[in-house]
């Protein structure tokens, strides 16, 4: 049986450990000790050398017990938080909600997933439940653009299906699709001149950038695609025609080729406008993680649905607008969905989660393991 008191106490312990993204050393060491206390070894990969973060990713592989024919399962959470995440003071209210004191985030994203995962492991051990091979991947740098997962050697992954415990929504909801994201950097090189004496001899990079932006489709492109310019930088004294502007942007789509088409469209708008005004331009883009999309007919979704139903919960499939480590693992050929774990208002000081939802997540992990053995 799940011990709600033990689970919530562990959650409170985890969120009190400072682990803002980039500073994961302390939480990584604690997590290693917790796995060791359960008789499991957490190996730390070498991704820290590439990310510059405080720790690498942790990987635990638990061999099959009395269920060797079951599919290999992967469960993943991340160890880092956003800021402000230092000196978090969690409290459980009479209404069942766990919150911080309002000066920091809570860190339920994603320490609720971590706490639920540890409790599930304990229950599986205590009840001697049969299971196939289980792999637990705890990433660093998720809040820094999935940096830990993106820097991981994909050969370390060994699973047939993956489940991320890292989505908003009621427990029972499954993010079955999430977009690819492209980072875009655009530079416009104009020509300086005195703005009052001979402006006609100059080429305003600001004007070119503005015209290029007006020619781009931005915001909600369609139901599956978005694009946004987040930064417009350049300029100087008002008596000088501005000769340089940099634009930082992104494009996302659940359909991989749509994000590529959006990038191409933004490039064309920039280059066409620059030529028209006699300016020079440079366009750089990188798809930092791929899209994924499943339906109710895919085995990974069916397994999660059976587990959710076995708990008397309602399955709801939805498309997420944001990326997660699930995107990266899907790109590494491990079919992975992101499970809702009940937190609300993440990345704000109003973040909260119901204690009973953390219990439900632990129950869901156990149910997925049970259903996988049933086949």
Point out which residues pair with 319 in neighbouring strands: 177
Q: Considering the candidates 24, 45, 142, 363, report the single residue annotated as catalytic.
A: 142
Element of type H or E holding 223:
none
Tokens standing for residue 7: 């689970």
Contact, 99 vs 91, CB < 8 A?
yes
Q: How far apart are CA 273 and CA 367, in angstroms?
A: 56
**Catalytic annotation present for 155:** no
Spell out the long-range contacts of 292-296 with Cβ–Cβ below 8 A and sequence spacing 24 or more: 292/177, 292/178, 292/326, 292/327, 292/330, 292/331, 292/336, 293/176, 293/177, 293/254, 293/255, 293/319, 294/176, 294/177, 294/335, 294/337, 295/176, 296/176
Element of type H or E holding 220:
strand 219-222
Q: How far apart are CA 11 and CA 107, in angstroms?
A: 9
Q: Considering the candidates 24, 80, 109, 243, report the single residue annotated as catalytic.
A: 80
* 23 secondary structure, DSSP code: -
**Catalytic annotation present for 49:** no
Q: What are phi and psi of 169, to 5 degrees?
A: 110, 165
Give catalytic residue positions.
Answer: 80, 142
């Amino acid at each position: 049986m799940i011990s709600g008191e033990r689970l919530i106490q562990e959650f409170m312990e985890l969120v009190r450990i400072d682990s803002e993204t980039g500073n994961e050393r302390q939480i990584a060491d604690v997590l290693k000790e917790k796995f060791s206390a359960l008789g499991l070894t957490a190996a730390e990969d070498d991704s820290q050398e590439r990310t510059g973060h405080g720790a690498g990713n942790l990987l635990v592989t638990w061999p099959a017990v009395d269920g060797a024919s079951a599919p290999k399962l992967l469960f993943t959470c991340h160890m880092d938080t956003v800021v402000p995440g230092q000196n978090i003071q969690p409290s459980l209210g009479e209404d069942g909600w766990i919150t911080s004191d309002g000066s920091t985030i809570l860190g339920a994203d994603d320490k609720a997933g971590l706490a639920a995962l540890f409790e599930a492991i304990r229950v599986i051990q205590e009840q001697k439940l049969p299971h196939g091979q289980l792999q637990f991947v705890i990433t660093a740098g998720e809040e820094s653009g999935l940096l830990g997962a993106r820097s991981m050697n994909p050969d370390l992954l060994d699973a047939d299906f993956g489940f991320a415990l890292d989505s908003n929504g009621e427990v029972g909801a499954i993010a079955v699709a999430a977009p690819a994201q492209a980072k875009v950097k655009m530079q416009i090189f104009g020509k300086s001149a005195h703005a009052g004496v001979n402006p006609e001899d100059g080429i305003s990079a600001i004007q070119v950038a503005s015209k290029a932006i007006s020619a781009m489709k931005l915001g909600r492109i369609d139901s599956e695609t978005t694009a946004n310019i987040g930064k417009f930088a350049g300029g100087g004294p008002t008596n000088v025609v501005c000769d340089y502007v940099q634009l930082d942007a992104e494009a996302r789509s659940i359909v991989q080729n749509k994000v590529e088409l959006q990038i191409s469209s933004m490039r064309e708008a920039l280059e066409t406008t620059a030529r028209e005004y006699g300016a020079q331009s440079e366009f750089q883009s990188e798809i930092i993680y791929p899209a994924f999309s499943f339906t109710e007919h895919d085995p990974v979704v069916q397994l999660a649905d059976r587990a959710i139903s076995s708990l008397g919960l309602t399955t709801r499939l939805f498309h997420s607008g944001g990326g997660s480590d699930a995107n990266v693992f899907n790109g590494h050929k491990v079919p992975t969905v992101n499970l809702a774990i009940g937190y609300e208002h993440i990345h704000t000081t109003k973040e909260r989660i119901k204690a009973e939802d953390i219990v439900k997540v632990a129950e869901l992990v156990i149910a997925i393991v049970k259903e996988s053995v049933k086949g």
